[in-house]
Amino acid sequence: MPACPALFISAPASGQGKTTVTAALARHHRRMGREVRVFKTGPDFLDPMILARASGAPVLSLDLWMVGERACRTLLAQAAREADLILIEGVMGLFDGTPSSADLAATFNVPVAAVISAKAMAQTFGAIAFGLARFRADVPFHGVFANRVGSARHAQMLEEALPHDLTMLGHLSGNDAIELPDRHLGLLQAAEIDDLDARLDRAADALASTALAQLTPAVMFEDAASAEPLLPLLNGMHIAIARDAAFSFIYPANLQLLEALGARVTHFSPLADETVPDDADALYLPGGYPELHAQTLAASTRAAASIRAHAGAHKTIVAECGGMLYLLDSVTDTQGLTTPMLGLLPGNATMQQRFTALGMQQIEHSAHGILTGHTFHYSRVSTPLAAVAQATRAQSDAPGEAVYCQGSIVATYMHGYWPSNPAFAAALFHGRAF
């Protein structure tokens, strides 16, 4: 049973600074020469980009529903064998969601450090810390860390407000040179923050002397029962993946699965007007921000022609969320500007001022079973296409996202977590899922 120091970074809510603190910790320990493995709770794409830059290693998802307890157990045990430290960043507040970050921490006995933004707050800090620590007895609680602290006196007031048996792990001052910038779907992508490494280094410097930066006792991570070996279901297949600032919402675990199934994976950039390789058997258009780059995509005529030729040759295209938007006739932004897209799927996407769908979903196939995933988008699609399948929401039978097929194209808003059902994922790329 492998063992490794581990810490779960959570908070009372979103926006408290979990990612900043987790990334700072990862960078600090990496600079100390330690191997750090960071995980992100839930179906996030953006935070893992920051955390991967900070830690120097891919950041995988942990979620008791989407990933599954057995797979989470396997991932943690593998990390414990390879790393000197495991960090897990939570999602939303500690007890939010079903299952929650607290459920994950309790399942694997990982001690929780709660990050609380202390801006415009004094003694109430102690009440929030007390509630987080006492709400569930089965959640191992390590201590609290104050973020956005105004002064040394402010930090002293916060610590004095804590119950005597709760540990103050330190604090970070409110500092625009450390904070990570964001937009409507969350943090900016790592590649879009020009001074990201400098921000991470400043944050690491700021917490290096805090108790939070000290290694916690090792946690024992039990191996899960052996899973069925993967069959070479994609053996010899070449899968081309669009990957740039417009198409970047990709689970590292999905790519690892494609290669484990025998596929050769390459990348190209539609934004840079790069073309789909001629020998590609299948194409994956992931989610991202095509709406922010619509004019550039519309002007990338070589890339567009190669994707149309790929479709015209009846080769598989799997498109998720933003990738689906790119295939439509057009995209209309929040200012009313409409930009033509590839025209391979009939319809238009219109951006909204707030999100139109959010949450865990799954697609069930009569032959292959259930593929889990999630949805999160700010657009609405109008299309004459009839859905060939409908996702359902987690923990209910309420309808979720539609799945559309046209020719060799499969498209949906749902981001699939392919390791949840490798056979289903392979069928998608063979064009036999629907």
pLDDT above 90 for 284? yes
pLDDT class for 309, splitting at 50, 70, 90?
A: very high
d(CA 239, CA 283): 6
Determine the residue type at 366: S
d(CA 379, CA 377): 6
d(CA 117, CA 119): 6
Task: Output the CA torsion sign for 225, 231, 235, 239.
Answer: negative
d(CA 223, CA 108): 11
Running DSSP on this structure, what letter comes out for residue 208? T
218-267 pLDDT, tens digit per residue, is 999 998 777 778 999 999 999 999 999 999 999 999 999 999 999 999 99
Burial class (CB in 10 A: 0-12, 13-18, 19+), 300: buried
Q: State the residue for tokens 């839930």.
A: 42
Q: Which of 92, 88, 89 is nearest to 13 (CA)?
A: 92
Among 4, 72, 321, 405, the active-site one is 321
Q: Which of 197, 168, 219 is nearest to 30 (CA)?
A: 197
3-state SS, residue 157: helix
**Token duo for residue 59:** 């950041």
Q: Which of 225, 148, 223 is nearest to 180 (CA)?
A: 148
3-220 is classed CATH 3.40.50.10860: no
pLDDT class for 183, splitting at 50, 70, 90?
A: low
pLDDT class for 26, splitting at 50, 70, 90?
A: very high
**Token duo for residue 111:** 């001690």
- pLDDT at residue number 349: 96
pLDDT class for 316, splitting at 50, 70, 90?
A: very high
Helix (H) or strand (E) holding 299: helix 294-299
Ranges of each domain in the chain: 3-220, 238-429
d(CA 326, CA 331): 8
Q: What are phi and psi of 361, to 5 degrees?
A: -145, 170
Residue 226, beta-bridge partner list: none
d(CA 161, CA 149): 14
pLDDT class for 185, splitting at 50, 70, 90?
A: low
3-state SS, residue 419: helix
Residue 316, beta-bridge partner list: 282
300 versus 355: the higher-pLDDT residue is 300
* Polymer length in residues for the chain: 434
Q: Which of 381, 362, 378 is nearest to 370 (CA)?
A: 362
Geometric angle at alpha carbon 398, from 396 and 402, rounded to 5°: 125
Task: Output the CA torsion sign for 166, 169, 174, 180.
Answer: negative
The mean pLDDT value for 397-422 works out to 96
- pLDDT at residue number 176: 75
Strand 379-382 relative to strand 369-377: parallel, antiparallel, unpaired? Answer: unpaired
**Token duo for residue 362:** 């799954």
CATH classification (class only), 238-429: alpha beta
Q: What are phi and psi of 225, to 5 degrees?
A: -60, 145
Helix (H) or strand (E) holding 75: helix 69-82
Q: With the CA atoms of 163, 99, 212 and 21 taken in that order, what torsion angle do they form, in degrees rounded to the nearest 10?
A: -120
- pLDDT at residue number 193: 81
Of 53-57, 190-194, 354-358, give the lowest mean pLDDT range. 190-194
Q: Is 321 a catalytic residue?
A: yes
pLDDT class for 201, splitting at 50, 70, 90?
A: very high
d(CA 411, CA 145): 43
**Token duo for residue 237:** 């297949």
